[in-house]
A and B are shown apart, each in its own frame.
Chain A
Amino acid sequence: MLPATTIPTRTLAAALTVLVFLAAVPAADEARLSIYSSVATYTLPVTTRTGREYVGLLEVLEPLGRVSSSAEGRHWKLRYNNVDSDFVAGRTRAKIRGRDLDLPAPFLIENSRGLVPVSSLGTLLPRFLGNPVNFHEAARRLFIGDIATQVTAQLDASTPPRLVLNFSAPVNPTISTEPGKLRMVFTREPLVPPGSQSLSFDNAIISQATFSESNGTAELTIAASAPLMASFSNNARTITVSAASQGPPPVGGASTPGETSAPGGMPAGGGTPVAGGTPAPPPAPRRILAVVDPAHGGTERGAALTDTLAEKNVTLGFARLLRHELEQRGFSVMLLRDGDDTLTLDQRAGTANAAHAAIYISLHAASQGSGARVYTALLPREGPDKGPFHAWNAAQAPALLTSQNVAAAVLGEMQKHQLPARGYPASLRPLNNLLMPALAVELAPGPNGVSDLPSANYQQKAAAAIADAVSSVRDRLGAQP
């Protein structure tokens, strides 16, 4: 028998994580009620008694205000803020604020818990709250007050096509793919249907977006004839769904299956092709996720490279070129911003870590010097690691050696591309907060001075060198789990 003390801490942590995850994730067929309010958003389990759905009234009201309850015989009294109510087990008539209310099914008491029919919430809650509620009863989604997240969809029919979904508030759906579909499930967001439940697009690849809601969640399904990727921008208010340009060819007319859950903006898709009745093709090369981070953005302009040229604009153009170059070499690429968005350093690190990227590349530009500079993390004096948890300011420590190897490869490729480059350690966040190999590239003026910085040709040369280098060390980078 293995003594307990010899069990590796990481194994224990992983086992605990799995247990916590299993305990936290409700079973797929469990009935749930979601309640959205400006105070709290929460999900409650729904139980079925004599063919009707019930929910605990105390649990419904508890997150919204001060609640107390007491059971006396068949009477169950509940006080919410200053509102008194009296329910009787087995009866449909209740008294709230001194007035009678008829429930559609008898009130139940179980283990001192008062259960009310789910279908009564639309009339019951306004009596307690004094505010109207909007109850989507069939989907078990209850909106208190005028809370709602709106969504608009716009198709950009460029090649590859992109569907831009703009939300009125930040969202964080769970994203998964299946043949011909990309599904976004919104559990905590009060997402309401757009004007029409289904939007059709006159496009051969992205053909339809459909809104549906059920069991306390809302879902947006994008139908397409090619593998799709989703990326987040605008502080998680925009999701851009685009066809993965370098995905393996679909087999038997199906897009790449292989379901992947992608919370936090991880590109979905890129699984192993399934042969429907045809001989299995050779396994597709492993696709690796690279996160490209155009530094600065939004209100943070970065360096003023000239009177009119801001660093944030140069880095964005450079990042788009690098994305193209990496995709050409078979990488999946996530751009941390694809517009003029403000992102904090913690948000950048958090998104890259959550996406389990295999490599992170931050892009900068400067008006001094020439060529390019490649940086790896100069780690600060860190606090001690707590068991399996790394200190946030030194999360990069385990990956630093690989980062330095990648940086050396980038320097070598830049020399080959006649781009003078030097490598340095730098105390530059978020490099030290990243779990994966991470580096920053600072583009400096070329032979024509600062005017080279926004030049597509100049940036292209640097982007190709970086992509060649990353591709050359592909085997040393971990694949996304």
Chain B
Amino acid sequence: MIPRHLMIGVAVMFVIVLSMGFYLRHLSRAAAEMQRLAADTRPVAPPAVGPTETVTLYVADDDAGALRSQPAQIPLPGGRQQRAEELLRALLRIYQQPDSPHPLAPTADIRSIYLIDPGAAVIDLNAAFADQHRSSILGEQLTVNSLVETLAFNVPGINRVRILVEGDTRETLAGHADLTEFFDISAVGQAVTQAAQ
């Protein structure tokens, strides 16, 4: 006859194996779901909605070697951060037009903007923005000035801006403009004014 304690041991082992099997199945399903979500590039956020507002975009002009201010009407959401993102996306759309005065790659995008108190903004560009940017001091500086100035003019309270690429520090935008430091809004503003003269 099989001893009682052996039967209990086998039963416990059986229960453990069974629960581990269930847990393994659960892990495998979770991994598959994560893979599916990562491959899904469909937009998860609706297009920006909100009242249309008139904003001022500072658009780079390669021929003039300066920025020119350009009013635009765009729908702006309520949140400060979402407003900042929509502003720069509106600016980017101008640069991606066929007749752009300062062409940028069609795949260039603003991944996100983080507003950090007090007064700091961090713009996170996608890799294509930097990788496909034309390499020159003037061209890169105009891009930086345009992003910084547009943000500073339309989103009150920002006094310094940092630019990241794919969430990481990159030494330069495309070989020249230094991205390792915060840009001082007032210094950039003076540079923009000086270039316009």
Interface residues of A (CB under 8 A from B): 296, 300, 302-304, 311, 345, 364, 366-369, 373, 375, 378-381, 393, 422, 424-429, 432, 440, 442
Q: Is B52 part of the binding interface, using a Cβ–Cβ cutoff of 8 Å?
A: no
- Contact of A424 with B175 in the complex, beta carbons under 8 Å: no
CA of A381 to CA of B189 in the docked complex: distance in angstroms?
A: 13
- Contact of B194 with A424 in the complex, beta carbons under 8 Å: yes
CA of A381 to CA of B141 in the docked complex: distance in angstroms?
A: 16
Q: Is B176 part of the binding interface, using a Cβ–Cβ cutoff of 8 Å?
A: yes
Q: Which residue of B62, B171, B172, B180 is within 8 Å of A368 (Cβ)?
A: B62
- Contact of A380 with B138 in the complex, beta carbons under 8 Å: no
CA of A201 to CA of B24 in the docked complex: distance in angstroms?
A: 79
Give the segment of B33-41, B106-114, B129-137 that binds chain A.
Answer: B129-137
Q: Mark B170-195, 1 if CB is under 8 A from A, else 0.
A: 01101111101111100110110011
Q: Which residue of B135, B139, B188 is within 8 Å of A311 (Cβ)?
A: B135
A363 → chain B, closest Cβ, in Å? 11
Q: Assuming the A-B contacts A424-B194, A425-B191, are A364 and B65 also in contact, with contact meaning beta carbons closer than 8 angstroms in the complex?
A: no
Q: Is B144 part of the binding interface, using a Cβ–Cβ cutoff of 8 Å?
A: yes
**Contact partners of A381 in chain B: CB under 8 A:** 160, 181-184, 187
- Contact of B62 with A378 in the complex, beta carbons under 8 Å: no
Q: Assuming the A-B contacts A381-B181, A424-B191, A428-B176, are A366 and B137 also in contact, with contact meaning beta carbons closer than 8 angstroms in the complex?
A: yes
Would you mind naming 12 contact pairs between A and B with Cβ atoms under 8 Å apart?
A302-B175, A303-B134, A368-B62, A373-B65, A373-B137, A380-B182, A381-B181, A393-B181, A424-B194, A424-B195, A425-B187, A425-B190
**Contact partners of A367 in chain B: CB under 8 A:** 136
Query: For window 34-85 of chain B, which residues contact chain A by CB distance below 8 Å?
Result: 62-63, 65
CA of A367 to CA of B140 in the docked complex: distance in angstroms?
A: 13
**Contact partners of B177 in chain A: CB under 8 A:** 426-428
Q: Assuming the A-B contacts A378-B187, A381-B182, are A426 and B175 also in contact, with contact meaning beta carbons closer than 8 angstroms in the complex?
A: no
- Contact of B139 with A378 in the complex, beta carbons under 8 Å: no
Q: Which residue of A304, A311, A369, A380 is within 8 Å of B178 (Cβ)?
A: A380
B134 → chain A, closest Cβ, in Å? 7
- Contact of A300 with B65 in the complex, beta carbons under 8 Å: no
B175 → chain A, closest Cβ, in Å? 6
Q: Which residue of A311, A373, A427, A429 is within 8 Å of B138 (Cβ)?
A: A373
- Contact of A429 with B136 in the complex, beta carbons under 8 Å: no
CA of A428 to CA of B138 in the docked complex: distance in angstroms?
A: 10
B144 → chain A, closest Cβ, in Å? 7
- Contact of B135 with A302 in the complex, beta carbons under 8 Å: yes
A393 → chain B, closest Cβ, in Å? 6
Q: Closest 9 CB pairs between A and B?
A: A380-B181, A366-B136, A303-B135, A381-B184, A425-B191, A427-B178, A381-B182, A429-B178, A426-B141
CA of A428 to CA of B179 in the docked complex: distance in angstroms?
A: 9
Which of B62, B138, B187 has the most C-beta atoms of chain A within 10 angstroms of its own C-beta? B138
Interface class of chain B by DSSP? mixed
**Contact partners of A345 in chain B: CB under 8 A:** 171
- Contact of B138 with A304 in the complex, beta carbons under 8 Å: no
- Contact of B175 with A300 in the complex, beta carbons under 8 Å: yes
Q: Which residue of A368, A393, A440 is within 8 Å of B134 (Cβ)?
A: A368
Which of B141, B160, B180, B188 has the most C-beta atoms of chain A within 10 angstroms of its own C-beta? B141
CA of A171 to CA of B175 in the docked complex: distance in angstroms?
A: 28
Which of B181, B188, B195 has the most C-beta atoms of chain A within 10 angstroms of its own C-beta? B181
- Contact of B138 with A442 in the complex, beta carbons under 8 Å: yes
- Contact of B195 with A379 in the complex, beta carbons under 8 Å: no
Q: Which residue of B lies closest to A440 (CB)?
A: B137
Q: Assuming the A-B contacts A303-B135, A364-B176, are A427 and B65 also in contact, with contact meaning beta carbons closer than 8 angstroms in the complex?
A: no
CA of A375 to CA of B188 in the docked complex: distance in angstroms?
A: 14
Q: Which residue of A lies closest to B136 (CB)?
A: A366
- Contact of A425 with B194 in the complex, beta carbons under 8 Å: yes
Q: Which residue of B lies closest to A422 (CB)?
A: B65
CA of A426 to CA of B141 in the docked complex: distance in angstroms?
A: 6
Which of B136, B160, B183, B195 has the most C-beta atoms of chain A within 10 angstroms of its own C-beta? B136
**Contact partners of B171 in chain A: CB under 8 A:** 345
Q: Which residue of B lies closest to A311 (CB)?
A: B135
- Contact of B178 with A428 in the complex, beta carbons under 8 Å: yes
Q: Which residue of B62, B188, B194 is within 8 Å of A369 (Cβ)?
A: B62
**Contact partners of B181 in chain A: CB under 8 A:** 380-381, 393, 427
CA of A378 to CA of B142 in the docked complex: distance in angstroms?
A: 13
A296 → chain B, closest Cβ, in Å? 7
Q: Which residue of B lies closest to A425 (CB)?
A: B191
CA of A369 to CA of B109 in the docked complex: distance in angstroms?
A: 25
CA of A296 to CA of B171 in the docked complex: distance in angstroms?
A: 13
Q: Which residue of A lies closest to B195 (CB)?
A: A424
CA of A311 to CA of B65 in the docked complex: distance in angstroms?
A: 20
**Contact partners of B160 in chain A: CB under 8 A:** 381
Q: Which residue of A lies closest to B177 (CB)?
A: A427
- Contact of A366 with B183 in the complex, beta carbons under 8 Å: no
CA of A427 to CA of B182 in the docked complex: distance in angstroms?
A: 10
Q: Which residue of B138, B172, B178 is within 8 Å of A424 (Cβ)?
A: B138
**Contact partners of A422 in chain B: CB under 8 A:** 65, 195
A299 → chain B, closest Cβ, in Å? 12
**Contact partners of A440 in chain B: CB under 8 A:** 137
CA of A196 to CA of B183 in the docked complex: distance in angstroms?
A: 56
Q: Which residue of A lies closest to B62 (CB)?
A: A368
